[in-house]
Structure 1
Amino acid sequence: MAPAPPGSQAVPLPSNLPFRIISKTIGQGAYASIRKACPLNAPKPIIAVKFISKEHAFKQGRLTPKQLSMEITLHKYLGKHQNIIHCVGSGEDTIWTWIAMELAEGGDLFDKIEADEGVGEDIAHFYFTQLVSAISFMHSKGIAHRDIKPENVLLSGEGDLKLADFGLAAMFKRDGKVRLCNTVCGSPPYIAPEIVSGRRSRRADLLDTGYAANVSDIWSCGVVLFVLLVGNTPWDEPTMRSEEFKEYVETNGRTTDELWQKIPPEIVSLLRGMLKMDPNTRFTLDEIRTHPWFTRSNPYLSPAGTNANPIGLATQMLSQLRIDFSTDPTQGSQRGSSQYPDAMEIDSAPSPHRSRADPNALISSTQPETPVTDMSFDWERPPRLGMPTYDGISASQPTSNNHRPAYQMQPLTQTPFLSQLPSSTQDLLSQDPSLTQFTPNPSVPLTLTQAARKFKDVLPNYSLARFLSPLSLSLLIPLLAEALHRLGVPVPPFGEEQLGQWERDGEASVRVKMADGRRQGLNGHVVLERVLLGGDAMCEVRFVKASGDPLEWRRFFKRVVVLVGDAVLRPG
């Protein structure tokens, strides 16, 4: 039997599954974790299986058996669509419910978009077109998603959009009859204003007057388009407590906000139509599909609505990921300064009296720990940096003296560059896509694109929120701790003995729990491991997101990297 998913009851998974579990955790939600699986007697196809602990979800959480049953029923009812994660099957025993799904081989879309920058018009148009296709299909089946946000937008191996997570989906039309929804749900930056502002006299999560869930989906799609274009949301929540939203409403969409100024007028007209306050006058899907910007030609979009140039698209997106080491990471880029959003569910939030715009008020708690003692950390490792697999490479493999030319037990006197390493190590790391983000003028090495056959060959499915350092763990951990302190992360003290133990183990982990700039839960780990690369021992640091907005996690990663910048290995 496979071990239990993290964050759930420490009991084994069902032994009579109709497939084989072949990975550790690759994704996690409030009550569930996701593993890879394959047929019992064959290596392919590889699917994703979501395991929900009933006791954890029903007794400790806020999920009901009826809600879980509805998620499965609606997901299966949707059937197949090229831009929607397909439900393969489901099952349960007395302890677990599982849902088998198509695997999103390309990972998270918004892992691959630069925070505060966004993507070019062609790429934004390509993914927006596919999102509208997915939502159009759902609505044609009478189902609204109700939780459209970056966290639920995934990619296929060819880089096509895949909409996921139907836990909040609802039937708004059946047998020709339209019904309104009353449940308050969604994520504050993406939720429609009619859901937040409605009167609730009976229960905090139920509106007295219902809303059209399909029309609310249109609003959320508009916010996602905005984020694609500029790498940030237009507001932190659609209430008058948000200064950006207040100005948007009072100026009838003619806001002076600097982010709106970056967007071309023809797209602004589409956004204003989708983000109309009155649901009755908000753009319909037909109006979106006939808008001049939507119908424009796009070199990445095939007549069938799929990726016409996967390698070109991946190359362009990778070249747009860039970390500017000259910025001040303690200055926030979050939107607004509204008060605690009591209308919405928050995973972990700091004091409501703290300013929303203060980046140092984002973190609620962290705890340094080693992976072996942290039962909730059981995540699948990505391929080792610079290597297609990590066969024969142990993260904590002891390094002999002749494997230590790059591993520094003394503080660095200058920024480490790739050119300072042996040529064999340089050749190895030149194939690693995560290094391109640290160059002043990002470009994608030909070694990455020449042999590429798929989108994921250039832009991998795993997160690029990681870096290499020649510093030892015992030197790098204090630097990271100081960086986290500067960002408001209270890291408990540790002594020389603990540092020595981490150095001997060759690995360490810091668990991060925070509320992001919009007071939404953002959780994960900063994992440090000693690795061998072409005979050189180095330290690899990975930022592993467990839950939360991928753009917010990217922003957090960038800030920490800039603060420890002189320890980060860079190309050149």
Structure 2
Amino acid sequence: MIELGPAEGSMTDELMELMSQSLSRLEIKEHFNVIKEIGRGKYGKVLLVTHRCRGTPMALKVMPKSSTKLQGFLREYCISLQLSCHPCIVGLFGIAFQSDEHYGFAQELVAGRDLFAVIQPKVGIPEGAVKRCVQQISSALEFIHSRGLVHRDIKPENILLLDTQCRRVKLADFGLTQKRGTMIRLISGTLPYMSPELCAVAVERGEEEPRAPPLKVEPSLDTWAFGVLIFCILTGYFPWERCTASDDFYQEFADWRQEPSSEDMFRSLLALDAGQRCRVGEVTAFMDEDWVRGRGTNGTVTSSLSVTKSSTISEVVKIYSRLTEIIIMPVKMC
């Protein structure tokens, strides 16, 4: 991904400058007891460790120097540090370091699973748990946006659970977080959570340049991803593979949105025009509504759902599951 844009806010800049001059050098096994690996991705891995002197359990995020730029590491750490005071965002210990081969920092250990791990394919999770999760994550996102930042990676894997009923959840992973207004020229590949305007700057296989002009990072990117996330955890389905005209399921949704009946939460969250999307915090106005009223005998969402204007999610689900269970893509467990 290539990003062109303004410098980070003054606080982030100052923290990054200080960290670059005073980043501790240590070897992981000299200061931490490594218990096991608890996460892995393109960025590197997350280790469950205890501090050798204090015995404190921590989650150590470790990134190889061979594939991680120092500025990128410092940005993620400093942004995470500024945001970690929110109760629904993973906390940090204030420990950042480099070894001969890695950069790393220590964060709060959330002993539960991530949200993706508890989604039952074709079923989702109970509506009450969905609403509890939505309230907490919307609060975290509102806080992030109030700081002039955009998370840019809202998905179930980045929501950590302190209990399986979603009474306490925490948003994690700020590796893609950027200041509002940053310009993105192109990205590689697409995910179901990416908005139409973000997919437009994605370069597909065989292409060298995107078909759209550079995109300005705005909170509306998080709003779209949040809407897809709610659909996913409520139903156990991805609504589409990508937000492009070549995806039949997305195109059907785009056509449906033009109908007068699509006036509610999902109309606001998943507005095709980024400027028309609501703030993520506005979902709280729909908490007293029934989002789903019925499921089939095997647990799958059926067309017996409520289709009132106050719960468009029901209409969205109806569209994508009205024929067979395979008309939309079940969430696959890894």
TM-score (norm 2): 0.72
> Distance in 2 between the 1:86 and 1:205 partners?
37
Please state how far the C-alpha of 1:187 moved relative to its aligned partner: 5.0
- Change in Cα spacing, 1:241 to 1:41, as seen in structure 2 (3 Å) is same
Is the CA contact 2:76–2:175 (under 8 Å) kept in the aligned structure 1? yes
Is the CA contact 1:248–1:254 (under 8 Å) kept in the aligned structure 2? no
Q: Structure 1: where are the runs of 5+ without partners? A: 1-12, 58-62, 173-178, 256-264, 298-319, 323-330, 337-516, 518-550, 555-572
Are 2:156 and 1:145 aligned?
A: no
Which one of 107, 118, 123 corresponds to residue 117 of structure 1? 123
- Change in Cα spacing, 1:138 to 1:334, as seen in structure 2 (3 Å) is farther
2:192 aligns to what?
Answer: 189
Give the SS at the match of 1:280: helix
1:106 aligns to what?
Answer: 112
Is the CA contact 2:91–2:108 (under 8 Å) kept in the aligned structure 1? yes
Please state how far the C-alpha of 1:212 moved relative to its aligned partner: 3.6
Are 2:35 and 1:35 aligned?
A: no
Are 2:172 and 1:167 aligned?
A: no
Is the CA contact 2:226–2:280 (under 8 Å) kept in the aligned structure 1? no
Name the % identity. 25
Please state how far the C-alpha of 1:68 moved relative to its aligned partner: 2.4
1:562 aligns to what?
Answer: none
Please state how far the C-alpha of 1:184 moved relative to its aligned partner: 4.4
> Distance in 1 between the 2:209 and 2:80 partners?
27
Give the SS at the match of 2:333: helix
- Change in Cα spacing, 1:17 to 1:188, as seen in structure 2 (3 Å) is same
Are 2:237 and 1:232 aligned?
A: yes
Are 2:59 and 1:48 aligned?
A: yes
Please state how far the C-alpha of 1:239 moved relative to its aligned partner: 0.6
2:71 aligns to what?
Answer: 66
> Distance in 1 between the 2:60 and 2:132 partners?
28
Is the CA contact 2:185–2:201 (under 8 Å) kept in the aligned structure 1? no
Give the SS at the match of 1:124: helix
> Distance in 2 between the 1:237 and 1:145 partners?
19
Q: In terms of Rg, which structure is larger?
A: 1
Which one of 246, 269, 279 corresponds to residue 241 of structure 1? 246
> Distance in 2 between the 1:332 and 1:137 partners?
38
Are 2:83 and 1:93 aligned?
A: no
- Change in Cα spacing, 1:206 to 1:146, as seen in structure 2 (3 Å) is farther
Please give the per-residue CA displacement for 1:476-532, whole angstroms capped at 9, x wherever unaligned. Answer: xxxxxxxxxxxxxxxxxxxxxxxxxxxxxxxxxxxxxxxxx8xxxxxxxxxxxxxxx
Q: Structure 2: where are the runs of 5+ without partners? A: 1-24, 291-297, 301-323
- Change in Cα spacing, 1:120 to 1:24, as seen in structure 2 (3 Å) is closer
> Distance in 1 between the 2:151 and 2:29 partners?
29
Please state how far the C-alpha of 1:288 moved relative to its aligned partner: 3.0
2:333 aligns to what?
Answer: 553
- Change in Cα spacing, 1:28 to 1:273, as seen in structure 2 (3 Å) is same
Which one of 249, 256, 259 corresponds to residue 251 of structure 1? 256
Give the SS at the match of 2:219: helix
> Distance in 2 between the 1:125 and 1:16 partners?
39
Give the SS at the match of 2:27: coil
2:27 aligns to what?
Answer: 15
Counterpart of 1:240, as a letter, is: A
Which one of 207, 210, 234 corresponds to residue 215 of structure 2? 210
TM-score (norm 1): 0.43
Please state how far the C-alpha of 1:17 moved relative to its aligned partner: 6.4
- Change in Cα spacing, 1:23 to 1:286, as seen in structure 2 (3 Å) is closer
Give the SS at the match of 2:135: helix
Please give the per-residue CA displacement for 1:111-165, whole angstroms capped at 9, x wherever unaligned. Answer: 1121110122211111111110111111111111101111211112584111111
> Number of residue pairs matched?
273
The residue correspondences of 1:504-515 to structure 2 (distance < 5 A) are: none
2:132 aligns to what?
Answer: 126
> Distance in 2 between the 1:86 and 1:215 partners?
25
Are 2:282 and 1:270 aligned?
A: no
Please give the per-residue CA displacement for 1:333-378, whole angstroms capped at 9, x wherever unaligned. Answer: 4737xxxxxxxxxxxxxxxxxxxxxxxxxxxxxxxxxxxxxxxxxx
Is the CA contact 1:19–1:37 (under 8 Å) kept in the aligned structure 2? no
> Distance in 1 between the 2:142 and 2:230 partners?
16
Are 2:161 and 1:155 aligned?
A: yes
Please give the per-residue CA displacement for 1:250-277, whole angstroms capped at 9, x wherever unaligned. Answer: 222659xxxxxxxxx99x8201210000
Is the CA contact 1:193–1:238 (under 8 Å) kept in the aligned structure 2? yes
> Distance in 2 between the 1:253 and 1:212 partners?
26
> Distance in 2 between the 1:81 and 1:273 partners?
26
Cα root mean square deviation, aligned: 3.4
Please state how far the C-alpha of 1:85 moved relative to its aligned partner: 1.1
1:288 aligns to what?
Answer: 283
Counterpart of 1:47, as a letter, is: M
- Change in Cα spacing, 1:188 to 1:21, as seen in structure 2 (3 Å) is same
